[in-house]
Amino acid sequence: MNKLLQVGIRVQVALATALLLVGLTVLMSFVVGKRSGADLQKQIGLGVSDIARQMADELDRTMWTHRGEVSVLSTLSVLQELEDTQQISSIVNRLSREIPIFTWIGVLDRDGTVVASTNDLLLGANIAQRPVFQYGKNGQFIGDVHDAKLLAEKFPLYNGEPIQFVDIAVPLFNNNDQFTGVLATHLSWEWADNVRKTLFAGQGIHRAVDIFVISADGTVLLGADGALVGSSLELDALQQAQRNNVGWKISTWPDGAEYLTGYAPADGHLDYAGLNWSILVRQPVEEALEPVYILRRDIMAWGLVLSIISSVIAWWGAGFFVGPIGKMARSIEEMKRGEIERLPDFDGAREIKILSNSLNALLAKLTEKDAALGQMEHIAHHDNLTGLGNRLALDVYFEHALAHADRHKTQLAVMMLDLDDFKPINDKFGHSAGDDVLREVAKRLRRCVRGGDLVVRLGGDEMVVVCHVGESGEGEATMLAERILNDIQMPFITGGNRVSIHMSIGIALCPVHGKTIDVLLNQADDALYAAKARGKNCYVLASDEGEPSGSKSSLA
């Protein structure tokens, strides 16, 4: 009778313990998994939207650059007078060779007849009815993506489809301010597809994203391997981008599948207003949110494992646990107070020893998980290539640095740094050599700044330095800029090759030029472009962009 009663109690304790722990595990897993999953999902979504924003910025910067090149070309007197067509032909052919994105360049007289062109294509043809002449004769014209109606047979297919162009045209006037013709150019749309393919290759969980460029009327201009090109999209994410918003959503696409969709507008660059393109970046939800699902699954699995272990212990120890458990409870209290580091081995039933060992193993695993979480946090805040901080680290650091500066009545200097002519290193020596140079640049930058300052890599060869400066913020910031320029200009050795490279720097001061990191980065970025415009290898202070604040010659 007593034996049956004992067995019944053990069964009841085991079942009650199992049900209680399973219920608590499910509840805890749901709450913790939902909260952690939501945070992780937000970070993944922000990563996709950041890709869209970077793609939009790359397109706008490229169009801005080539628009300026066409405007400068139109100021040549030989083009304005339209007298020496042989020299004009030589100029346009050389420009097409040097800058292949200009697939076709044509100089039209006042009647719309082509008098000089790339490889003499359409030479002598009258294209007065084409938009490049109709709009170009009235002022600078930038035409959206279109098929090559007159040149379709002159160029090979791209991805099995006829080549497409973006137009840039400007009017030509002679010295008497008389209209003499139009300089018309066709930019191959292939360059945008190359940006799409290479700009974000191999970026962690976002390495398999699809990037789309959408026109103002919702027509797909560019897609992954031609997907959806020419079709019209109606997505809530597209509507957000057309309202000049940047963000991400989970959207259902025309194929009926759900995608994590980042969106951003291509709203121009500097004085280039843009063509009202929208950028969408999508990734299948199951693939994009896989880390979220893994996190939730691991939380549930570990909870269930703990439930099973505890239930087994309860089954075997129900009859004689009271005494040893009391001792164990006291030992746990001592551990909580820091008096001991691990539970001691208890004499008695085998179940007591199992429980003691299991708890010690669990504590060890929790310690390992804490260390792993710390490592994950470090990875999330640092650039894999250089070990420098990333944009997330910059946002976190700036918030604390700004509070420190406010308390101590000091200033912050935000420097935007960009390597001059870095691409030729990759082209000549390979990307591994370029990576070596970037790592060495990171080391030199760390060497130049103080311990409490921050060096960040935003992407590519673009870096940011945030440092504390005193009341004479401008002087300290420019001294640091000079030190960086002097250090960077020292030769690099990579793969047995001696490489020389220089750097341009834009500087903004907080609170002089702004009190938010976005405003300061924009100010520093504008100053950086001013430094590039002055011949590179120099620094420019945002408040003094009219006069050079430093140059290679003054630092040598």
Residue 377: which residues within 8 A CB-CB, separation 6 or more? none
- Choose the catalytic residue: 267, 453, 461, 526: 461
**What 3-state DSSP class applies to 167?**
strand
What is the bridge-based pairing of β-strands 102-109 and 114-117? antiparallel
CB atoms under 10 Å from CB of 136, counted, come to 26
The beta-strand segments (E) located in 110-178 are 114-117, 141-147, 164-173
- Report the distance separating Cα 521 and Cα 102, nearest Å: 32
CA distance 123 to 85: 11
Task: Give the CA angle between residues 108, 113, 116 to the nearest 5°.
Answer: 55
Select from 237, 234, 239, 217 the least CA-distant residue to 283: 237
Query: What are the helix (H) ranges across 253-348?
Result: 285-288, 290-317, 322-336
Longest dimension (CA), the chain: 121
For the chain, how many residues are written? 556
pLDDT at 556: 28
Distance CA 178, CA 81 (A): 10
Per-residue pLDDT at 482: 92
Q: How far apart are CA 318 and CA 17, in angstroms?
A: 11
* Strand 539-541, strand 502-510: pairing: parallel
Domain covering 49-284: architecture: 2-Layer Sandwich (3.30)
Give percent of the chain above pLDDT 70. 74
Q: Is the pTM of the predicted complex or chain greater than 0.85?
A: no
Q: Where do the domains of the chain lie?
A: 2-42+291-369, 49-284, 391-555
Can you say whether the dihedral through the CA atoms of 65, 163, 230, 211 is positive or negative?
Answer: negative
Structure tokens at 196: 């799409």
Q: Can you give the pLDDT at residue 338?
A: 66
Residue 553, pLDDT score: 33
* Residues in the chain, pLDDT under 70: 1-15, 17-18, 21-22, 25-26, 28-38, 40, 148-163, 198-208, 225-226, 288, 292, 295-296, 310-311, 313-329, 335-336, 338-339, 341-352, 355, 363-381, 544-556
- Say yes or no: domain 391-555 is CATH 3.40.50.150: no
Angle at which helices 391-408 and 517-533 cross, to 10°: 110
Cα–Cα dist 123/147, whole Å: 20
- Triad 175, 181, 185: Cα angle to 5°: 120
Residue 498 makes CB contacts below 8 A (sequence gap 6+) with 491, 492
C-alpha–C-alpha distance, residues 56 and 53, integer Å: 5
Residue linked to tokens 């090979």: 156
Check if 461 is active-site. yes
Q: In angstroms, what CA-CA distances link 547 with 112, 279, 482, 510, 544?
A: 43, 37, 16, 20, 6
Phi, psi of 122 (to 5 degrees): 65, 15
SS3 102: strand
Q: Token pair for residue 401? A: 């640095």
Tell me the CA distances in angstroms from 84 to 87, 90, 169, 235, 243, one per residue in order: 6, 10, 20, 53, 48
Tokens of 101: 């994105």
DSSP class of residue 137 equals: G
**What percentage of residues in the chain have a pLDDT greater than 90?**
16
d(C-alpha 38, C-alpha 295), whole Å: 11
Q: Describe the chain by its helix, strand, coil percentages, rounded to 5.
A: 50, 20, 25
Predicted local confidence at residue 33, as pLDDT: 60
Distance CA 256, CA 514 (A): 45
SS3 at position 92: helix
Exposure of 11 in the CB half-sphere (CA atoms within 13 A): 6
At residue 171, the pLDDT reads: 94
pLDDT of residue 431: 81
| CA dist., res. 524 & res. 9, Å (int) | 73
Q: Which of 506, 537, 536, 538 is nearest to 524 (CA)?
A: 506
